[in-house]
Amino acid sequence: MHSITVRPESSDDIRAIDVVHISAFGGEAEAQLVSTLRESASYNRELSLVAELGGRIVGHVLLTRVPLRRNGDEKHLLVLGPISVVPSQTHRGIGSKLIQASIQLAKEKGYGSIVALGHPEYYKRFGFVLAKDLGVSCNLPAPEDALTVKEIVDGNLAGGGHIEYPEPFVELY
């Protein structure tokens, strides 16, 4: 039985990462988003994690540094996503490993918070809460209840703020 390894992406992983997102989401939009971000100033290879099982890439999560603005102040946090696991390997904790590794990486890099847009019930188990409950909004036309945040540093989001997702995310939504 192989174990799951989570590590930063390498240039050899790019095609496999596309395949993961296309098979998991059932379309090309998220793979295209990752490709576009990879070519943008927002991209940092250290913040792009793959899950490997027996030498095969079976999951991927991208973290992207974004600004949160409040009353003229600006701080940066990490967007978690897209995240996906190939359908044949779901329900065995790979998604959880990717999220836990993301939280650990955010801590190591000194970020105060992470934001995730998607299935709130999934993210809640990792300590994410609804962004609106902390007064946090974003520039995407997504349902309010789909935006969740996790403070890595207690009180980091006190007072709330507005998150500016980079342009490629805006184009996707």
| Residues 43, 26: Cα–Cα separation, whole Å | 24
124 binds ligand COA, rule: CB under 6 A: no
Candidates 80-88, 107-115, 136-144, 161-169: pick the segment binding ligand COA (CB under 6 A): 80-88
Q: Closer to ligand COA by CB, 69 or 124: give it.
A: 124
**Contact letters (x/-) for ligand COA, 25-64, by CB under 6 A?**
x---------------------------------------
Using the contact rule CB under 6 A, the part of the chain among 5-13, 64-72, 113-121, 149-157 near ligand COA is 113-121
Determine how many CB atoms are found less than 10 A away from the CB of residue 150.
Answer: 24
Q: Which stretch binds ligand COA (CB under 6 A): 11-19, 40-48, 65-73, 78-86?
A: 78-86
CA max distance for the chain: 53
Rounded CA-CA distance 165/123 in Å is 19
Contact 122, 146 (CB under 8 A): no
| Torsion angle (degrees, nearest 10) of CA 9, 11, 16, 22 | 80
Binding site for ligand COA (CB under 6 A): 24-25, 81, 83-85, 90-96, 118-119, 121-122
